[in-house]
Each structure stands twice: as structure tokens, then as C-alpha cells.
Chain A
């Protein structure tokens, strides 16, 4: 019994969480994608996330990105389970 529980814990521990990706406003329409999840394998930076979801479509000029709800840039590193978002310049207020 103990052995079984131990192996389950090990299995959960080793399983990488996918990266959650969200798109907003004109960026959602550009890629025709609202939200998705991608495996962390081969993903190191925000730019890698864009390539994984957009393929050959270039990132529009002035694209903003966020990781875990904080503004960042294309070179920012990504860990498993992170939430990455792409969106155009903000226009609130």
C-alpha cells in the first residue's frame, strides 16, 4: 500500500504541467484563438510560446505579453504551469 502511494506521488511529481496561453482583443482575432494549453517541452521563452501557437504568423508590432499576470517581454523565461498572454496595446480608462 505504501509502495503504491509512493509511486503515485512520484508519477505526479514528474508530470510537467502544460503552459496555459491566453489571447485578448485583436490578438485573439488575429490567431482565431482564445485560450489553449501547450506542452512545456521545447519551450524556453515567451517567443517560443508564440511560435508554438502562431506557427509562421509573425508577432504583430507593438504586441504586449504577460507571464503569470505581470507585463514582460519576448525573452522572458517560461516554467511549466505558467500562464502566458499576448495582447495589443491597452486602451482602458
Chain B
């Protein structure tokens, strides 16, 4: 298991490969991955950049609890979770969640569960700077199971 709050840009696919290279070959049969990437639009406006604030200490403890919950619910070989904080530009990755398990169902379901739990419990906040130079806090996340 690895959990990282990242204060600089990160490369999710390289991080995923590096983590998997440290796992025992043959110990898993399924890998499910989610990568969240910053858009240059939100609610009809152009977005130039974003600042991600968090609550140091609580962020780590909440994410650890979310990962522990997933391990309780599904037979997972491993979990990798990386979340960016600080100043971010469109196209940069915000979050990586990866789950390894023997079979696909546990990996798919746990990966989805981890993302939804993160979005409702982990203390992160986004402030957008729009292309017209105004700024605003993002007030709530989209509903993960109903929006498209």
C-alpha cells in the first residue's frame, strides 16, 4: 500500500508502473486504475488554473481510513493512491487510484469505491482561476454515480 500527497507534478502511469514493478509477479490478476485530470472548463466557464488546498494530517488519516475500509470489503493485493495539492494547470493529473486483486470484480469495485469515498471524505478544496481572471471556490463535487 502506498499513499502520497504530492506537492508537485507527478506522472501517474510511471508511478503505477514503478509500484507494480515492486510487487511479486503472479500475485495478482487484475489492475483497475482511475486518473483524475484537470479540465480547462467547469460549469460553462474557461478555467486557467487551480489551487488545491488540503488539511495536513487529516487528509492523510482520512485517506488511510478509506484504504483500510476498501481492504476490509474486498480481497485486494495492493492499493496505490496519489493526490496532488498546490497550484495546478489544465492537463495535469490531480489524482491516481490503483487497485490490484486476483480477479477483476474486486479491483473495479474497490477502485470506484475509493474514488467516491475520497471525494466525499478527504479534506481537499479547489479554487479555480477563470480565464477572465476572476477566482472562485468549487462549492461541491459532481455526483459520481449519476453524472455523465
Instruction: Specify the main secondary structure of chain B where it touches its partner.
Output: mixed
Contact with A along B44-74 (1 / 0, CB 8 A): 0000000011110110011000000000000
CB–CB B53/A25 < 8 A: yes
Q: Does B99 contact A (CB under 8 A)?
A: no
- Cα–Cα distance between A89 and B83 once the two chains are bound (Å): 18
Contacts A91-B125, A91-B138, A91-B140 given; indicate if A85 touches B118 (C-beta within 8 A).
Answer: no
Choose from A26, A70, A93 the contact partner of B115 (Cβ within 8 Å). A93
Given A85-B55, A91-B140, is A69 in contact with B61 using a C-beta cutoff of 8 Å? yes
Number of A-B contacts (CB under 8 A): 75
Do B55 and A91 have beta carbons less than 8 Å apart?
A: no
Per-residue CB proximity of B93-130 to A under 8 Å, as 1/0? 01100000000000000000001001111111111000
The answer to whether A89 touches B54, judged by C-beta atoms less than 8 angstroms apart, is: no
- Where the two chains meet, the residues of B that have a C-beta atom closer than 8 Å to any C-beta of A are 36, 52-55, 57-58, 61-62, 83, 94-95, 115, 118-127, 137-141
20 A/B residue pairs, CB under 8 Å, sorted by A: A24-B53, A24-B55, A25-B127, A26-B137, A66-B123, A69-B62, A71-B62, A71-B121, A87-B123, A88-B125, A89-B140, A90-B121, A90-B141, A91-B138, A91-B141, A92-B52, A92-B119, A92-B124, A93-B94, A93-B124
